[in-house]
Amino acid sequence: MKQRTRSPKNKVQPAETLHLILRLSNKLMAPFSAYLENQYDISVNEFRVLMFIGRKGETASHEVAHETGVNIMSVSRAVSTLERDKRITVIRDPANRRRKMLRLTEEGKRLFIIMSPQANRVADYLLSNLEEKEILLLDQFLEAMVNTLEAVDETGRSVFLERTRPS
């Protein structure tokens, strides 16, 4: 295993940690690109939306965006394509006419069943060298980082975007 770059005082460089997170994210997409994207004519965001709806059963676009971290415009485009390809249906919520609920069609369910094992294999392989206690600790770290990125100030603005705004 390659040793991480350290500062003169033997501290981890935050930019190096960010680099590793981004590298991990990119590497995780390789099996999707190699095995699913072309075979099922589905983009990565469409895959994320389809898999999320498949796990939830029924959800709204804003919930997909919030829970997956995919921006709402990308979710909207994925929803449009999935609906056009008859992989999901979009139904107005009778209790709230402005809210549109997303559900898998039979074709969407078929794809979810086909692609779920691949997603599970990726997860299993990624965590295969970790012990259960390490996975639980990783989950805590990831949850803390997500919470940091999702924090809002008293006016509802993203603290992350405000604090990382270019000078």
Q: 73-95: per-residue pLDDT in tens?
A: 999 999 999 999 999 999 987 88
Sign of the Cα pseudo-torsion (100, 55, 66, 122, in order):
negative
Name the residue with tokens 């559900």.
103
Provide the token pair at 50. Answer: 């389809």
Q: Please say whether the beta carbons of 61 and 50 come within 8 A.
A: no
Question: What are the phi and psi torsion angles at 55 (to 5°)?
Answer: -75, -35
Kindly report, residue by residue over 91-128, the tens digit of the pLDDT: 987 888 788 899 999 999 999 999 999 999 999 999 99
CA dihedral of residues 102, 55, 24, 81 (deg, nearest 10): -30
Q: How far apart are the C-alpha atoms of 122 and 115, rounded to whole Å?
A: 11
Helices 61-68 + 72-84 axis angle, to 10: 120
CB 102 within 8 A of CB 60: yes
Mind listing the pLDDT tens digit for each residue in 14-41?
999 999 999 999 999 898 888 889 999 9
**What are the boundaries of each domain within the chain?**
29-128, 130-167
pLDDT for the residue 58: 93
- CA neighbor of 118 nearest in space, from 24, 36, 21: 36
| CATH fold for the domain made of 29-128 | Arc Repressor Mutant, subunit A (1.10.10)
